[in-house]
Structure 1
Amino acid sequence: MAKNAPSTPTKIFNDPIHGHIELHPLLIRIIDTPEFQRLRYIKQLGGKYYVFPGASHNRFEHSLGVAYLAGCLVKEIKKKQSEKMPDDTIDERDILCVQIAGLCHDLGHGPFSHLFDQRFMPIADPEKKFKHEQASVAMLDHLIESNNLKDVMKEYGLVFTEGKDETSTDKEQGEASEDKASQDEASEEQYDDLIFIKEMIIGYHKDKKDLDWPYEGRGKEKSFLYEIVANKISGIDVDKMDYFARDCHHLGMQNNFDVKRFLAFARICQTKDGKHICIRDKEVWNMYDLFYTRYCLHQRAYQHKVANGIEIMITDALLAADPYIKIEGSGGNLFKISESMNDMAAYTKLTDNILQEILHSSGEDLEPARKILSNLEKRQLYKIVGQTEPTASTGITMKGSSEYEAELADLTLKLTKEDFRVDIICMNYGKKDQNPVDSVWFYEKSNPDDAKEILGKQVSRILPRFFEEQLIRVYCTKTDDESIEAAKEAFNTWCRKKNFTKSGW
């Protein structure tokens, strides 16, 4: 910490998952802002709360948990760093930046979390290709500027380099570095900490994957720091560790992954691809437990058939209301729901409360949206008429829902395209059809500084053969018996024509 750092005390939170957790004073300054407090009003599991009554937790407490675990992990690997690797020494700035990235990684979530970026926005504005990580970076900029925190961050020792536009995420994501060699030779003080924080939130730069080192916030000697909050290599990061434990707790499910053992056995090792966070070889089954827990959460909760149908209803309500609801942003400008992320002052006001605003409205324009939400409250839900699995050769894509709804409507005279909703689901261990543990680095007790791979075939002969499956569910928006029967007939005919492996429910 800088010598002239403010004397603001730390704060202790009593967290139901991690117990009493202590957070740095700068994190408290960030937490005590309207932009961060907004996360109290965004459900962690979106519409799943309508099915699982315990799933009432929000993005707020999850963000505190990720900040805490990020601090735990970076401090553990600092403690266990080898004397053979003096160039990668973790300093107090690194630790603070990692914690801030963990705290702020979900600032950009919209109403009902992933419902907003995975269901609503792809239909409301498909050209935008909205990602909540990018919105998190924009919201972080807005939070710092609106609350005059830049000078406070400097007082705590964070560095903002001169001549760089730390608020321009487009430049960070889109422009290749002009002189990477000179940056590698730069002293630690020349690295911009805000850029580092943003890079940890976003992950790998899409437009810089061909570069030997795509980041600007830290040099390659500290590559392992980018694996703590959002690990794009193996998928093992503190974000997952917190939400697996937190979601299991609130859903009433078992979490088999032991985060304390992971922290105890994590260290930095030299690999053929550079320095990475590695785990003791005997912990390989704990890694499989992590990814299996992910699959179980998707199978039992995240992709629950009734909960997904409810989220489709909420999406339809938001789409129907989008042209008529105006949110005031900076300068008094008004924005639709789907435009709100263009102005962070407007986006700050957009939370789950938007449903209550629609439900309690009286205007004629919002009547269609109001009707959907009224049906939701009365439990008059969209009915699932069937689930099927596509074969490998059918060419089903995640973007084909509208096309498939039209195909179903063509198979019946009683229903239209608007009466069908097709939900395409992919469930895996976190790395599509690959075994994610094959991407994890391990070390032996006798040789703790050098890493090795442990492939699935070396672990057990009874591991899963496949690590991904795809499901297609069809819902009917009408609830009368005649419509549901017609939808089922159309669905069964559609499955036969598509040569799907299973049909019916």
Structure 2
Amino acid sequence: MKIIRDPIHGYIEIEDKILPIISTEIFQRLRYISQTGLAYLVYPGMTHTRFEHSLGVMHLAKELTKYVKLNSEEFSDVSFIDNDFLDLISLAGLLHDIGHLPFSHTFENVLSLAKEIYGLSVEYYGKKTHVIFGNKIIDQYLSNYLDKFSKRYDTVNFVQRVISSTPKTKEERFASLIISNAIDADRGDYLLRDSYFAGVGYGNFDIERLKRSLIYVDDKLIVLKKAIPVIEQFLLARMYMYETVYFHSVVGLYNAILSHAIVKLIKKSSIPQISPENYLKLTDFLILSKLEEAGKEFYEAVIYRKGFKRIKKDIIGNCYEYMEKRRSEINRVMRETEGLVIYHDFYDVPYSEDEIFVYYDDEIKPLSSVSSIVSSLKSIKKGIIGYHEKAENEVSKLTKLLEECQF
């Protein structure tokens, strides 16, 4: 096996059978897809990519599975977890983000704007866009590698169903819980990694304690009672990272600016069509190299942080709901100014009641029923208004709406 030195997990071991997949062009492309869009314009250290995150999820998926097997043997039959399965779940973790487009989730916002505001014909599936494209990428670029990966499993179907959360077998259901759940390898890696590169402590939690605190019962990942504090820590870490880093108003502003710029590039056919056939060309570098074609205002904003301003009032509570009711009017202003006036909203649900359970005095209970901290977590909803300095007159249409909601 090969060993990679990682700042989050220490040494990450790469099995020989996985190394050829990492070495493919389509996976190496993830070195040029930023993990957190333009967050580095606010947190300069956040220049890390989907490449190292994917390696981290691969590592953590395997680690969590090993410990769940050890912890669960007195509670349920986990005999299906053997070395072959560990390799398979590692592979699913490795490929869970293979479908991401340039600047990651920012490009999903691009497709939303292109379809809903500018009326372009593009493929857009909400937050699942990168997952659906990922399955197409696996078919087009990786199926030959995956067909040879395991003699016991249909690897292509296994990985595709796991990363798209559409499992059909017991093994796939377990893997889906490990890869994509309220407490999973994906969140476990990106909270620690993004916190580290942002230079903040908000995303830290006790990953070693978490590994040793999960059991598998009745097709559910269950938290042991003694580990309730570390799960609370995990969920609070996630909330703090969203409120402080991912949903930072200036981070959101620049990701929105970039989104409108990329829509302009799509309209002008300045970048290749968004399809699996063109994925090897679709990287952050391509977008940055074409940015001048979107207009001087957008180029200088993204490259030099010049030109755009933000109305320094976050739109929350009743005001957020009011602005949502006026979205058609807001969208018209953005469309007419071609992105020189921007309204950008943030929305996140911290967890779902039916996702996290605790093994509490020989009973399985929802975590929220035994944790006042968890039951107090609320959804985050926020909007911001930004504008280019040459569009000060046009932004008044949105600031007027903002004034109206102050009743």
Residue of structure 2 in register with 1:459 after alignment: 371
The answer to whether 1:440 aligns with 2:356 is yes
409, 425, 430: which one aligns with 2:346: 425
Relative to structure 1, the CA distance from residue 390 to residue 108 in structure 2 (aligned partners, 3 Å threshold; closer, same or farther) is same
Contact map agreement 1:45 1:112 (CA 8 A) in 2: yes
Residue of structure 2 in register with 1:209 after alignment: none
Contact map agreement 2:334 2:340 (CA 8 A) in 1: no
Structure 1 counterpart SS, 2:382: strand
Percentage of identical aligned residues: 25
183, 188, 207: which one aligns with 1:259: 207
Residue of structure 2 in register with 1:143 after alignment: 141
Structure 2 counterpart SS, 1:203: coil
Contact map agreement 2:333 2:341 (CA 8 A) in 1: no
2:298 is matched by which residue type in structure 1?
I
Alignment partners' CA distance in 1, 2:370 and 2:90: 36
Residue of structure 2 in register with 1:493 after alignment: 400
1:76 is matched by which residue type in structure 2?
Y
Structure 2 counterpart SS, 1:102: helix
1:453 is matched by which residue type in structure 2?
K
175, 195, 206: which one aligns with 1:225: 175
Give 1:250 shift. 0.3
Structure 2 counterpart SS, 1:387: coil
Q: If each structure's helix is expressed as a fraction of its own residues, which one has the higher value?
A: 2
Residue of structure 2 in register with 1:330 after alignment: none
Residue of structure 2 in register with 1:348 after alignment: 280
The answer to whether 1:193 aligns with 2:105 is no
Give 1:465 shift. 3.9
Unpaired runs of 5+ residues, structure 1, are 1-9, 160-191, 205-214, 327-335, 410-414
Residue of structure 1 in register with 2:119 after alignment: none
Alignment partners' CA distance in 1, 2:264 and 2:56: 35
TM-score, structure 2 length as denominator? 0.87
Give 1:443 shift. 2.1
Residue of structure 1 in register with 2:382 after alignment: 471
RMSD across aligned positions (CA): 2.9
The answer to whether 1:120 aligns with 2:110 is yes
Contact map agreement 1:76 1:266 (CA 8 A) in 2: yes
Alignment partners' CA distance in 2, 1:468 and 1:66: 26
The answer to whether 1:111 aligns with 2:102 is yes
298, 304, 307: which one aligns with 1:378: 304
Cα displacement string for residues 237-278 of structure 1 (whole angstroms, at most 9, x for unaligned residues): 110000000000000111332111011122222xxxx32121
Relative to structure 1, the CA distance from residue 97 to residue 369 in structure 2 (aligned partners, 3 Å threshold; closer, same or farther) is farther
Alignment partners' CA distance in 2, 1:143 and 1:408: 38
Alignment partners' CA distance in 2, 1:393 and 1:421: 15
Give 1:464 shift. 6.4
Give 1:403 shift. 2.7
After TM superposition, the structure 1 stretch with the greater mean CA deviation from structure 2, 84-93 or 39-48, is 84-93
Residue correspondence of structure 1 range 331-410 to structure 2 within 5 A: 337=272, 339-341=273-275, 344-359=276-291, 366=293, 368-385=294-311, 386-391=313-318, 394=321, 397=324, 401=327, 403-406=329-332
Cα displacement string for residues 43-76 of structure 1 (whole angstroms, at most 9, x for unaligned residues): 1011111221100100000000000000111111
Instruction: Identify which of structures 1 and 2 has the higher relative contact order when contacts are C-alpha pairs closer than 8 Å and 6+ apart.
Output: 2
Cα displacement string for residues 336-378 of structure 1 (whole angstroms, at most 9, x for unaligned residues): 54x322xx2311210001233214x7xxxx3x43552134323
Structure 1 moving runs of 4+ over 6 Å: none
TM-score, structure 1 length as denominator? 0.71
Alignment partners' CA distance in 1, 2:137 and 2:191: 25
Give 1:28 shift. 1.0
Structure 2 counterpart SS, 1:153: coil
Larger radius of gyration: 1
Alignment partners' CA distance in 1, 2:255 and 2:99: 19
Residue of structure 2 in register with 1:315 after alignment: 259
Cα displacement string for residues 61-99 of structure 1 (whole angstroms, at most 9, x for unaligned residues): 000000000011111122233256347532333222211
Structure 2 counterpart SS, 1:22: strand
Alignment partners' CA distance in 2, 1:282 and 1:68: 25
Residue of structure 2 in register with 1:23 after alignment: 14
2:178 is matched by which residue type in structure 1?
I
Alignment partners' CA distance in 1, 2:78 and 2:248: 48
Contact map agreement 1:358 1:370 (CA 8 A) in 2: no
Relative to structure 1, the CA distance from residue 97 to residue 381 in structure 2 (aligned partners, 3 Å threshold; closer, same or farther) is farther
Structure 2 counterpart SS, 1:224: helix
12, 18, 23: which one aligns with 1:32: 23
Give 1:102 shift. 0.2
Residue correspondence of structure 1 range 158-173 to structure 2 within 5 A: 158-159=152-153
Give 1:33 shift. 0.4
1:106 is matched by which residue type in structure 2?
D
9, 14, 28: which one aligns with 2:5: 14
2:266 is matched by which residue type in structure 1?
D
Alignment partners' CA distance in 2, 1:43 and 1:120: 15
Relative to structure 1, the CA distance from residue 288 to residue 87 in structure 2 (aligned partners, 3 Å threshold; closer, same or farther) is closer
Relative to structure 1, the CA distance from residue 393 to residue 55 in structure 2 (aligned partners, 3 Å threshold; closer, same or farther) is closer
1:144 is matched by which residue type in structure 2?
L
Residue of structure 1 in register with 2:216 after alignment: 268
Unpaired runs of 5+ residues, structure 2, are 117-121
After TM superposition, the structure 1 stretch with the greater mean CA deviation from structure 2, 241-250 or 131-140, is 131-140
Contact map agreement 2:320 2:381 (CA 8 A) in 1: no
Contact map agreement 2:368 2:375 (CA 8 A) in 1: no
1:94 is matched by which residue type in structure 2?
F
